[in-house]
Structure 1
Amino acid sequence: MTIEPATFSTQGVGGVRIVCDRLGDPQARAVVFLHGGGQTRRSWGRAAAAVAKRGWQAVTVDFRGHGESDWASDGDYRVSSFAADVIEVLRGLPPKPVLVGASLGGFTSMLLLGEIAPDIASAVVLVDIVPNMEQSGANRIHAFMTERVESGFGSLDEVADAIAEYNPHRPRPTDLEGLTTNLRRRGDRWYWHWDPQFISGTAKFPPIEVTEVDRMHAAVESILGNGVPMLLIRGQMSDLVSQARADEFLARFPQVEFTDVRGAGHMVAGDRNDIFADAVLDFLARRVEADT
Structure 2
Amino acid sequence: MRPASPLGRPDKKEFWHGSAQALAQAGRHAICVDLRGHGESGHAADGRYDLDAYIQDLRAILASLPSRAVVVGAGLGAIIALAAVGESAPHLVSGLALVDINIWFEEGVLERLHAALLERTMGAQLPEQIADAVSAAHPGEPAPGVKRLLASFDQRGDGRLAWRGDPKALEGSDLFVQQDRLSEAASRIAAAVVLMRGALNATISNQDLQRLQALIPGAELAEIEGAGHFLAAEREDLFDAVLLDFLERHTPLRPLEYIGGSEPRVLRDALGCFATGVTIITTLSETGEPIGLTANSFTSVSLDETIGLLREAVALGHRTVNIPAFPQAADGVSTSAKVGTIQMAQGAALSGDPSSSKAYWHPEFEPLWAEIQNLDVTVTFHLGGRMARFGDKDNFLADLVMTKVAMAEPVAMAIYGNLFGRFPKMRWAIIESGVGWIPWMAEYMDRTWEKQRFWTESKLANPPSYYMDHNIYGSFINDRMGFLNCNLPGGRNVMWSSDFPHSETTFPNSLSVIARDTVGVAEEDVRRIVGGTAAKLFKI
TM range (shorter): 0.7 to 0.9
1:108 is paired with a residue whose SS is helix
Task: Give how far 1:187 is off.
Answer: 6.2
Task: Give how far 1:83 is off.
Answer: 2.0
2:32 is paired with a residue whose SS is strand
Question: What amino acid maps onto 1:211 in structure 2?
Answer: V
1:197 is paired with a residue whose SS is helix
- 1:156 match: 127
Is 1:191 aligned to residue 159 of structure 2? no
More displaced 10-residue stretch of structure 1: 242-251 or 48-57: 242-251
Q: Which deviations, in whole Å up to 9, do the C-alpha atoms of 1:223-271 show, x marking residues without a partner?
A: 13xxx11110011122332122122223344611000111111221011
Would you say the 8 A contact 2:34–2:40 is kept in 1?
yes
1:69-88 matches, cutoff 5 A: 69-88=41-60
More displaced 10-residue stretch of structure 1: 263-272 or 126-135: 126-135
* Structure ranking higher on relative contact order (CA contacts 8 Å, 6+ apart): 1
Question: What amino acid maps onto 2:201 in structure 1?
Answer: S
Structure 2: where are the runs of 5+ without partners? Answer: 257-507, 509-540
- 1:237 match: 200
**Structure of greater Rg:** 2
Is 1:210 aligned to residue 176 of structure 2? yes
Tell me how far apart the structure 2 counterparts of residues 183 and 174 of structure 1 sit (CA, whole Å): 11
Tell me how far apart the structure 2 counterparts of residues 197 and 272 of structure 1 sit (CA, whole Å): 32
Would you say the 8 A contact 1:40–1:66 is kept in 2?
yes
1:129-168 matches, cutoff 5 A: 129-133=101-105, 135=107, 137-153=109-125, 155-167=126-138
Change (3 A) 1:159 1:147: closer
Q: Which deviations, in whole Å up to 9, do the C-alpha atoms of 1:63-89 show, x marking residues without a partner?
A: 011101111132100122122122232
Tell me how far apart the structure 2 counterparts of residues 133 and 239 of structure 1 sit (CA, whole Å): 13
Would you say the 8 A contact 2:138–2:202 is kept in 1?
no
Question: What amino acid maps onto 1:233 in structure 2?
Answer: M
Change (3 A) 1:95 1:244: same
Match of 2:221 among 249, 258, 264: 258
Q: Tell me how large the CA RMSD over aligned residues is.
A: 2.4
- 2:437 match: none
Change (3 A) 1:222 1:253: closer
Would you say the 8 A contact 2:105–2:176 is kept in 1?
no
Change (3 A) 1:222 1:252: closer
Tell me how far apart the structure 2 counterparts of residues 255 and 156 of structure 1 sit (CA, whole Å): 43
- 1:116 match: 88
Tell me how far apart the structure 2 counterparts of residues 104 and 172 of structure 1 sit (CA, whole Å): 18
- 2:240 match: 277
Q: Say how many residue pairs are matched.
A: 249
Is 1:200 aligned to residue 166 of structure 2? no
Match of 1:90 among 62, 73, 83: 62
Is 1:128 aligned to residue 100 of structure 2? yes
Percent identical pairs in the alignment equals: 32
Question: What amino acid maps onto 1:191 in structure 2?
Answer: A
Query: Hey, which of these two has a bigger chunk of strand by percent?
Result: 1
Question: What amino acid maps onto 1:249 in structure 2?
Answer: L
Is 1:181 aligned to residue 151 of structure 2? yes
Question: What amino acid maps onto 1:71 in structure 2?
Answer: H
Q: Which deviations, in whole Å up to 9, do the C-alpha atoms of 1:181-221 show, x marking residues without a partner?
A: 221345644222222112233xxxx3x13321111111111
1:43 is paired with a residue whose SS is helix
- 1:58 match: 30
TM norm structure 1: 0.76
Change (3 A) 1:140 1:68: same
Question: What amino acid maps onto 2:29 in structure 1?
Answer: Q
Task: Give how far 1:134 is off.
Answer: 5.3
Task: Give how far 1:60 is off.
Answer: 0.7
- 1:34 match: 2
TM norm structure 2: 0.43
- 2:278 match: none
Would you say the 8 A contact 1:111–1:219 is kept in 2?
yes
